[in-house]
Structure 1
Amino acid sequence: MINPLREPLGNSNLSIVMGISIIVIVIIDLLMTRQLLDYNHITGNIMFILTIVICYGIGSFVLLGFAHKVSRELRNKSRLSHLMHWNVILVQFGILITLVFMLFFGNSGYILSRLIFAVSSLLAMAIMLVITFKFFSWYRASKYKNPIVLFYALAALTLACSIFEDASTKLIMIQIIYEEPAPDNQITASSFQYKGSDKYDGQVVFVTSNTDGTALFVIPQTYLDLYNYLNSIILPVGFVFRWIASSMLLRNVYKKIGTLPISLWIIISLPLVLYLIGKMPGFFSGESLAGIDEAYRYYFRVLFRVGTIAGNILFGLAFFVVAKKLKSSKVRDYLILAGLGDTIVGISLSTSAIEPTFGVAAHSLVLLSTYLFTLGLYSSAIRVSQEMKLRQSIRDSAIEESKLLVSIGSAQMAQEIEKKVFAVVEREKAELTRDTGLQPTFTDLDTKEYLNSVLKEIKIIHSIEDIISKSKDILLDSSDFILCTKPSGLRLAYNNYFEIYQQICRAEKTGAHNGIKIVTSIIDSNDIEVVNKFLALGIGIRHVKNLPPINFAASEKEMIATIQKTEGGQILQNLLTTNETAYIEHFSSIFNELWKNGIDCRNRINDIETGVDNEGIEIIQNPETFEKIFHGLIISAKEDVVGIFSTPNAFRRQKFAGSLELIKERLETTNLNVRILVPEDELIYQTINELEHQGFSNRIKIRLIEPSMQTKVSIVVIDKKYSLAVELKDDSKNTISDAIGLVTYSNSKSTVLSYYSIFESLWKQAELYKQLQLHERMHKEFINTAAHELRTPIQPILGAIDILRNNATSIRERELIEIVSRNARRLKKLAEDILDVTKMEGYTLNLNKEKFRIRDIILENIHNCEANFEKGKIEIKFIEVDDLQIIADKSGISRVISNLINNSIKFLPSTGGFISITVNLTKMTFDDKIGNMAQVSITDNGSGIDSEIFPNLFTKFVTKSFQGIGLGLFISKSIVEAHGGKIWAENNLVGQGAIFSFVLPLDDTDQNNKTSTL
């Protein structure tokens, strides 16, 4: 039996094998209980065990497991199907337990066997009555009556009657009479007798005995005629209607493939013929065949049972033959279930339930088989009902549109109706699938064919005959022929006078005609189908995206055009035809221009078929339309959805609009995977935590992109088939309609895959960015720790050096101490530089601003430098053009000047080195503002700036010197820019050396005072 706590086995081949095994067991049971095969207590018990193990133990597990898998969608949509399914499982499980109990503890008073028979029959009958009600309801509710549903209902009803008749006659009419055991305690074999008994005033049907006594199953004389009548009439009628339903079911399924072949009709018809032949004696003599010689009775019984068995086996064979030819696995699986159920139910109903052990066990399989047969019949009926509803929708939609377009007489309008009807049908199909769990098999071709018949019935296109007639005349009388029309016009020509095109093309090959040229607009595969018909004739056809609003055709002598105009609120179609040369030349020039700008239709067809459709792009201006399309695409998504949100607010708006909840619902019924890229934000982290808590984090993955990657466009790609690019208009708005601008929708394969490729690149970059952030944080922590660890021991070293310098007694000692002191100071400066770089990169550089004169810190730095070099080796000159006072971080600006002086010193010649420092007032445009600035320039006569490092001069670790690690200029730039200033460098235009300059904003008050003094 099915374990409802785990996924069931669902293999159709295994189910077929088990179904065949059950059929074999039931056939043997049938032959033994009907005494066509001899049996005794030992063989009877063996069959009883086999029935329990194979039919109920293994068979029910496999078949119900297969049914559980196949009917999952149906049960999800139908509470009735769900309830029926689990009731069958529970009852089958209960029957199995009861049979096992009977195996070990016996069947005292035949209570358990009769209980099994009653329960299985009643539930099977209930199933058939419920389905009967369902079928009759569908038939009554439909505007267009379909006989298939009616016969399904009658078949279900008569099968329910057959089950009820079988159960009522066996359980109510047949009485069990017990006799004392024979004197010699001899146990006679169980047997069917169908013999009259004066003693018991009735007919003894079955006798079974054991050591406790003998039980006789007797039909009282008062019930005998009714018993024989019911068995002779009800069962055959039920079989006939079951045959009709099965035949219609197979024909209805097979019609999608083609016409049912004669060989299959023979296979389907044989069961009915064999059954009726075998049943004929019962019509004349009743179920007991009373009045017929014993030998003949035996052979009649053999004939009937062979007919029953062969007929039901052929039923199953017909189902399997049709199922094998189907492409749809879902329909095929339902058909296999119906075939197994149809075969087993026929044979199990023929197995005698009077036999109190293995007979009743085999007969009670009527519940399982009825359920399997019902699944196939029910799914087929749903599809028939769906088809009727779709046809009804097509008719109603076409008639409704015809009321608006009653005076229209063009193929263009027919195409418009077709487009609207197709939209209605697609919507109806989606709703039917959602309601029933079964996908309608009604194809686009079915829709077209039925719509054409409806249009002819309601005569929607009143002037179509005039257009067809005139077009024929012009084409036949032409030497040159041009045609400008939408594909609907080509369909009109193909359906009504295609043979004339064939005739003209043959004439062109012999030189009797100059040929035909056509311009049209090819949108989808439906257009390709009709265009290919004309291409096959060798006609030149070109595709134009935007055709004029007028369809026309012209020869060298005459032309025809259909022109639309509006009168009284309705669109009317006027037919224009003329032989005026001016008109012909005018329309010919229009055609030639379209032909010149068109593209070869083969290229257009190839683009559509390969998915490279650059015309599948639409600009959406209405936000409500965007939301509707977006939600529709999410609902239709099957594989994956990827999205790039321009800002955290863009993600927040979609979340509040319910898009995320919609995606979660799709995850429950599909294998959908979702990936999202969005700039980091508190809500984003909250959403990530919610998804992880709800168990969606494996299928909805969110990665954060760095703020610099934010854009003004959000992009969503669905199943690599559709894309939406949404422009951001105002990110401060709370609603989508207020925040977004234009939206670009595309189903062009090249466009969609380009967006998808962009997403994949950004997805990988986001992961790399996350790793880089981690590495950078570790890097900064390491440098910060290392710099601190370096600086900590330096200060004690410098203090100790001062003590040693004071206590030095010789020149050699002083020299050594000076070397240690100089390098310790260099090490201290290096540690400070590293720490400062770490602060600057972490945006934690603090400026302690104060007012001071810039000349003071320049002179201080000059004095410190001169103290470190021999007198006369380097000359440092200070030229103060203007005495300027600034508000800045004094130690920071001092450090900038010190770094620039030291940088110049590194590249001075060994002798004659010269550095000049100048301070002056200047005006400079900075950040689009003109202001007074203090400019400091440091000029040297060194080797100048190497051209290799010039572009990256102020970045980290850039140096050509063997002294230092290239952090001084980077630190200087960071300090100057933190004050709102600017720093730059250049090589001397005259002579050698370089000039490093920086500017700082002046204190406005001080500058005003200075100006007034001057």
Structure 2
Amino acid sequence: MDSINFHNFENLFENSEPKSIDIYINSFSSFLFLKNSLFYNSLKLISKKKSFSNARILVVCDDNQFDSICDLFSSINNVYISNISSFSEQQENLITITINKKILYFFKINYDETKKTFNCNLYNVIFDELIYFFSIIYDILWCTVEKNKSLEKSNIFQQDFIDIASHQLRNPILPIIGFSKILKSKIKDSTVLEYIDIIIRNGEKLRDVANDILDISRIETNSIRVNKEFFDIDKILFDLINEYQDLAVRESVDIKFIYYGKPGLIIEADKSLIAQAFDNLLNNSYFSTKNNHGQEITISLSQKNTSSVTITVEDEGHQMQIKDLNQIFTKFFTKSIGGTGLGLFISKKLFDIHGGTVDIKNRSPDLGLKFTIDLPISNQKISSRSIGNKLYDNRILIIDESSENLHLIKNRIQDLGYGIDCYEDPLNAVQHFVPGKYSLVFLGVDIRGFDGFDLYDELKKRDNDVKGYFITSNKINKDAIDVFFDKDIQYDQFIYKPHLLDSIIKIIKNEHNR
């Protein structure tokens, strides 16, 4: 064990009656010296005196070291410890001790590698007005650290609340929208139909808000998963424009797509996230153009250099003041009635995640806004991308609660030569999910309280090529599929437990023979 030399360190409090003690320890080596010196015992004795109020200790260390420090001082009453590793940089091993804000000791700690000893030297003692300034700095630093801890706790609580609230908000919305649309098909009364349209319209708004809040929660907690793949950016834009065409035609808004280059421009990104980012932009431009009685939106795609692709979205909506242009990508900023101010914020964050940029400016007088997006282009050749829709070692994934037939199903599928993994715990399944490993996944609609459709969404974000089928005991109305699910889910993706084994085998063989 290392020996320790110290110079009257244990006698520090002999000639004073400490009421308050402020200690600064700028390294873990300095702490180790304190731990093995008589100072610790002295502080413990002082803490038992009636005159003693408290001791504050600021330390610079990592989280594991901080736990060790807290453990050491936990047996001493009225000792409070904070870690300022994020506010300080270590240079020398120092300890400062301020007693009653009247006397300040500076100690320098040295470690002799040859003798394996710590040496503590009293570097300076201050009695004058400098103590006042040092105490102010210490108080400010202490309050800053405590405030930061409070904000971190508040942020964690806020994110947990948002995540739970958005899930709880979204779950009842889909049935409300779905049953309202079914009810609408059965009603003839025009007044009642008008009321139902109001329910559907506002339900869809609420659903979109819940989805946006959930996306923001994932973005701000860095929990959003980016599953990059190679795809044609022009196809993404073309498909998105087609989705808006019917709506745009009804409102006499023409959406043009201009492509300066050869078709098949490949980028490497998360396809669903990039599509979502452009969807938000186009949605903003569409409603801005419509509300301003504009007639045209132009989307152009070009490659100006070998490292990036540029997409512009030009609308004929309202122009904006410079101060508003500077805020348009901030959270909750909106100039439209009924807007949440979340869509463009999410778009910018998604472009940022992919190493892209987005800029906005007013077009020539009275012609709306122009968004310019630059995204990096992958340097890999198209032949290097993985091709989906092929069985990887014929491997199948089943996520469902335990049933008597699950073992039978697993053995039967293995007998047919297919690899299979079965999980009863959805969290365990997600943790062990490897993109590209599975071609098919069979999920329960409700697995230990987890929504099977949300779970499928999570898996698709990791591997867009995996195809899912949903296991349920209840028959699903074919006409209700489009109504209830805003996801790309078809009627033939539902299989029923009375015939589960036969259905799974049939699906596997059909997919394998494609």
Q: Common fold, TM-score beyond 0.5?
A: yes
SS in 1 for 2:303: strand
CA contact under 8 A between 1:837 and 1:971: conserved in structure 2? yes
2:267 equivalent in structure 1: 886
CA contact under 8 A between 1:919 and 1:935: conserved in structure 2? yes
Out of 138, 146, 170, the residue aligned to residue 759 of structure 1 is 138
More RCO (CA 8 Å, sep 6+): 2
Which ranges of structure 1 fall in alignment gaps of 5 or more residues?
1-625, 729-733, 738-742, 924-930, 1010-1014
Distance 1:1002 1:747, change over 3 A: same
1:971 matched to 2:346: yes
Q: Name the aligned partner's letter for residue 96 of structure 2.
A: V
Out of 674, 677, 682, the residue aligned to residue 55 of structure 2 is 674
Out of 58, 66, 70, the residue aligned to residue 688 of structure 1 is 70
Query: How much has 1:846 moved relative to structure 2?
Result: 0.9
1:657 equivalent in structure 2: 33
Q: Which string of whole-angstrom CA distances, capped at 9 and with x for unpartnered residues, describes residues 292-335 of structure 1?
A: xxxxxxxxxxxxxxxxxxxxxxxxxxxxxxxxxxxxxxxxxxxx
1:820 equivalent in structure 2: 199
Distance 1:813 1:861, change over 3 A: farther
Which ranges of structure 2 fall in alignment gaps of 5 or more residues?
111-115, 385-514
1:902 equivalent in structure 2: 283
1:995 equivalent in structure 2: 370
Q: How does 1:451-850 map to 2 (within 5 A)?
A: 639=18, 640-645=20-25, 650=27, 652-658=28-34, 661-668=37-44, 670=46, 673-678=54-59, 681-692=63-74, 694=75, 696-698=76-78, 700-705=79-84, 708-712=86-90, 716-719=96-99, 720=101, 721-722=103-104, 724=106, 745=124, 747=126, 749-807=128-186, 809=188, 816-850=195-229
2:342, 2:136 → 1: CA distance?
40
Query: How much has 1:633 moved relative to structure 2?
Result: 6.2
SS in 2 for 1:907: helix
Query: How much has 1:914 moved relative to structure 2?
Result: 2.8
SS in 1 for 2:257: strand
Query: How much has 1:715 moved relative to structure 2?
Result: 6.9
1:727, 1:998 → 2: CA distance?
55
SS in 1 for 2:144: helix
2:358 equivalent in structure 1: 983
Query: How much has 1:831 moved relative to structure 2?
Result: 0.5
1:946, 1:744 → 2: CA distance?
59
1:657, 1:727 → 2: CA distance?
8
2:95, 2:315 → 1: CA distance?
55
Q: Name the aligned partner's letter for residue 966 of structure 1.
A: G
SS in 2 for 1:658: helix
Query: How much has 1:723 moved relative to structure 2?
Result: 5.4
Query: How much has 1:921 moved relative to structure 2?
Result: 1.8
CA contact under 8 A between 1:723 and 1:752: conserved in structure 2? no
1:914 equivalent in structure 2: 296
Of residues 713-722 and 889-898 in structure 1, the stretch that sits farther from structure 2 once superposed is 713-722
SS in 2 for 1:1004: coil
SS in 2 for 1:1005: coil
Distance 1:635 1:903, change over 3 A: farther
2:117, 2:382 → 1: CA distance?
52
CA contact under 8 A between 2:329 and 2:344: conserved in structure 1? yes
Q: Name the aligned partner's letter for residue 29 of structure 2.
A: R
Distance 1:921 1:816, change over 3 A: farther
Distance 1:936 1:815, change over 3 A: farther
2:129, 2:180 → 1: CA distance?
74
2:159, 2:175 → 1: CA distance?
26
CA contact under 8 A between 2:57 and 2:81: conserved in structure 1? yes
Distance 1:870 1:778, change over 3 A: same
Question: Which structure's residues are more often helix, by fraction?
Answer: 1
1:794, 1:857 → 2: CA distance?
28
Q: Name the aligned partner's letter for residue 1002 of structure 1.
A: I
SS in 1 for 2:145: helix
Out of 932, 935, 939, the residue aligned to residue 314 of structure 2 is 939
CA contact under 8 A between 2:294 and 2:317: conserved in structure 1? no
1:5 equivalent in structure 2: none
Return the TM-score normalized by structure 2: 0.60
2:71, 2:88 → 1: CA distance?
23
Distance 1:710 1:689, change over 3 A: same
Q: Name the aligned partner's letter for residue 993 of structure 1.
A: G
